Structure 1
Amino acid sequence: MPSSPNFMYDNLSSNVQAGAVLPPNCAGTKAGCSSGSGAPSDGTYPYVWNNDGYDASFGITSRIFLDQLTPSGEPVSSLEVPNSLQSQSGSDELVTSFSSKSELALHLSTDGRYLTFMGYVAPVNTVDVSNSNTPGAIDPTNPVGQSFYRAVARVDRDGHFRFTETNAYSGNNGRSAILNNRNDQDIFYTAGNAGNGSNPQMDFVT
């Protein structure tokens, strides 16, 4: 059956404090902070997106759901990807960035046993993750002064998840991943974008 990624913004006013200086930790970067008097709106939908005019890197992480549909588009089931709002998630968590929707392309592994996609290793409702640096690939000219891993998620037919972290795509997003696991290779091929500053991008990632 076809699958489709879905996401949900939690619509909490506390997600952003009106007047907050953004991006997070921007004062510690070479790029500095946005001009003006701070974020114009709190986290209430839809006004939260007014903050994009103040902070060009603006986005908020949100939960991911994998929806299973019939060929005619009727819903069958929905599977929530492990995240920080689930007490059992521990360190195994993945989110998308709302409203940036460049990530979450879905692919089947080459043997057809796993579904794969990419996201961010960060708590739900965190600001500006999609333009953050990745650990070990820090661009000091990026105005977002925090770092989070990107990761590839693989899920089997029973809903069991496994995550593989990477510091690729620093400053931007990993968009797509496919697992080549024929002949026990277990190799991910990924695509994405990098950079949110003025420095050349890293040549080596892990």
Structure 2
Amino acid sequence: MNYFPTWIRSISLLGVAFGLASTVVQAQTVRPFTAGNYVVVRIGDGSAALTSAATALYLAEYSPTGTLVQQVPLPVASASPNLALTASGSATSDANLTRSADGRYLILTGYNAPVGLSSVTNSAVATTNRVVGRIAADGTVNTTTRISDAFDANNIRAAASADGSTFYAVGANGGVRYLPLGNTGPTTALSTGNPTNLRSINFFGGNLYVGAAASGGYGVLQVGTGAPTSAGQALTLLPGFPKDSGPSSFNFFCTDQSSTVPGIDVVYVADDRTPTNGGIQKWSLVGGTWTLNGTIASATAALRGLTGKVTGSVVTLVASGAGGLYTINDNAGFNAAPTTTTLPAALVTAPANTAFRGVALSPVATALATRTTTSQGAEMTTFPNPAQEHVIVRLATTSAGHTAEIRDLLGRLQRTRVLPASGQLDLTGLPTGTYLLTVDGRLTQRISKTE
């Protein structure tokens, strides 16, 4: 039920349409996100040109047809327990967006700075803490998590999470940082060696990956194994990606498209070079080496945000750049050039004096799966259920090394994987429906996969 009078709702709609007043946008009632929609970070309220000063951020939710559903404002001033979360209006590498591996939260980073603070990316971290924001499927905003010991006088760019309780953050210096929800200052420096200048981070197939375009890696690198929590984690460049020079890599989306290659075997990478070589690269894991299959070319739009979903044999990519939001389909499959070779027209363009940054699929509200029996429930739980891209398997002992099998309801084997320590099991590539998940041949639960 909408409790606002008709004339107030009309004013709000006009304000959004013209992108003029942040106060109008912030007055809107935040609703739960709708599963299957796209959420893009929008910087600026449209009232003035973007500069390097701290600027207000909004999460703009769009339907797959490009209809604006709502805009969720992030705090522009600290009000306990939440902190302000703003970003530079001109730092195009910042404000990337991810969805937690369990699908329940959107994650992004920024600065605990009031709107208007000049050159916010150059601010001292001790006085202008960096902030990790977590936004739930019901629209609840949590910006209680701060960083006081990394990304000093430089950019914080992105964060990822398995389930919204802990985070991994990256930026222009400092490597990969690990911290819990509600962190009050210092963090754990996870990674060692180059590159320390990182642009993006996310979970796929039970492992943590980062995107970089610096000495030590121009593409995608794996961070240790599983979901690491201790210092000394190696950053391992995926074999085949260039080490010393190459693409201007930003966000990436990984899928499992081959039944003969274990784990993720296709990676799409946003490359912001224009007017030549930029777009979305497609890489496949062939004989243990990642091979470039081709590029969805973009001569004018510098793409940096990227996410996607898999429906049967079709991969739908959702990309974002400063000026627009784009959707692209690729049904070529493993180790084949993408079926789309040129970036199509934007699904949505950013309003005047605003810009789009990161993009992710809408978060979904989930609950623990119903346990098959009391004894099995004590030994194994799964979440989220229903799931979209991944399901987390929790066992009474460590999840690492256990064999998981997914069968359809007729008993036909669909997938076999050895579980990592994180317990994350990749579901990408499976059609929507209900399946039987069996671990070590004895523990079985029903799981459902949705789009």
Is TM-score (shorter-chain normalized) higher than 0.5? Answer: yes
- Residues 1:65 and 2:58 aligned together: yes
Question: How far does residue 70 in structure 1 lie from its aligned partner after superposition?
Answer: 1.0
TM-superposition CA deviations, 1:143-165 (whole Å, max 9, x none): xxxx3000110000121111210
Cα 1:162–1:151, aligned 2, differ >3 Å: closer, same or farther?
same
Q: Which residue, out of 126, 130, 135, partners 1:150? A: 130
Query: In the TM superposition, what whole-angstrom CA distance separates every residue of 1:30-71 from its partner, at most 9, and x where no partner exists?
Result: xxxxxxxxxxxxxxx55x86xxxxxxxxx2111101000011
Structure 1 residues 4 and 156, CA gap change in structure 2 (3 angstroms): same
Query: TM-score, normalized by length of structure 1?
Result: 0.60
Q: How far off its partner does 1:114 sit?
A: 0.4
Pick from 158, 176, 196 the counterpart of residue 176 of structure 1. 158
Give the AA of the match of 1:127. Answer: S
- SS of the aligned residue for 1:180 comes to coil
CA offset at residue 190 of structure 1? 1.7
Question: Within the alignment, does 1:166 sit opposite 2:147 as a pair?
Answer: yes
8 Å CA contact 2:104–2:163 kept in 1: the answer is no
State the Cα distance separating 1:179 from its structure 2 match.
1.1
Counterpart of 2:109? 118
Contact in 2 for aligned 1:6/1:66 (Cα 8 Å): yes
1:72/1:9 Cα in 2 relative to 1: closer, same or farther (>3 Å)?
Answer: closer
Residue 56 of structure 2 aligns to a residue whose secondary structure is strand
**Structure 2 unaligned residues grouped into runs of 5+:** 1-36, 175-185, 188-451
- Map 1:61-140; keep pairs closer than 5 Å: 61-84=54-77, 89-90=79-80, 92-135=83-126
Offset at residue 116 of structure 1 (A): 0.2
Q: What's the offset of the Cα at 1:106?
A: 0.9
1:10 CA drift (Å) = 7.1
- Deviation, 1:191, is 1.6
Alpha-carbon distance in structure 1 between the residues aligned to 2:96 and 2:66: 18
Unaligned runs of 5+ in 1: 12-44, 50-58, 136-146, 196-204
Q: 4+ runs of 1 displaced by more than 6 Å?
A: none
Look up the equivalent residue of 2:125 and give its one-letter code. Answer: T
- Answer 1 or 2: which has greater strand percent: 2
**In structure 2, which of residues 34, 41, 47 is the aligned counterpart of residue 5 of structure 1?**
41
Deviation at 1:9, TM superposition (A): 5.6
Check whether the contact 1:5–1:64 (CA below 8 A) recurs between aligned residues: yes
- C-alpha contact (below 8 Å) 1:83/1:89 kept by paired residues: no
CA distance in 2 between partners of 1:10 and 1:125 (Å): 14
Report the residue type matching 2:137 in the other structure. Answer: R
- Provide the alpha-carbon RMSD of the alignment: 2.5
Residue 113 of structure 1 contacts residue 157 of structure 1 at CA under 8 Å; is this kept in 2?
A: yes
SS at match of 2:131: strand
Amino acid at match of 2:95: L
Using the TM superposition, give the Cα deviation of residue 89 of structure 1 relative to its aligned residue in structure 2, in angstroms. 3.7
Separation in 2, partners of 1:162, 1:187: 13
Question: Relative CO higher for 1 or 2, CA cutoff 8 Å, sep ≥ 6?
Answer: 1
Greater gyration radius: 2
Q: 1:76 & 1:190 partners in 2: Cα distance?
A: 29
- Give, as a single letter, the amino acid of the residue that structure 2 aligns with 1:179: S
CA contact (8 A) 1:104 1:117 kept: yes
Among all aligned residue pairs of Structure 1 and Structure 2, give the percentage whose two residues are the same amino acid: 29
Residues of 2 paired with 1:79 and 1:4: CA distance? 10
Structure 1 residue aligned with 2:173: 194
The one-letter code of the counterpart of 1:68 is E
One-letter amino acid of the counterpart of residue 122, structure 1: A
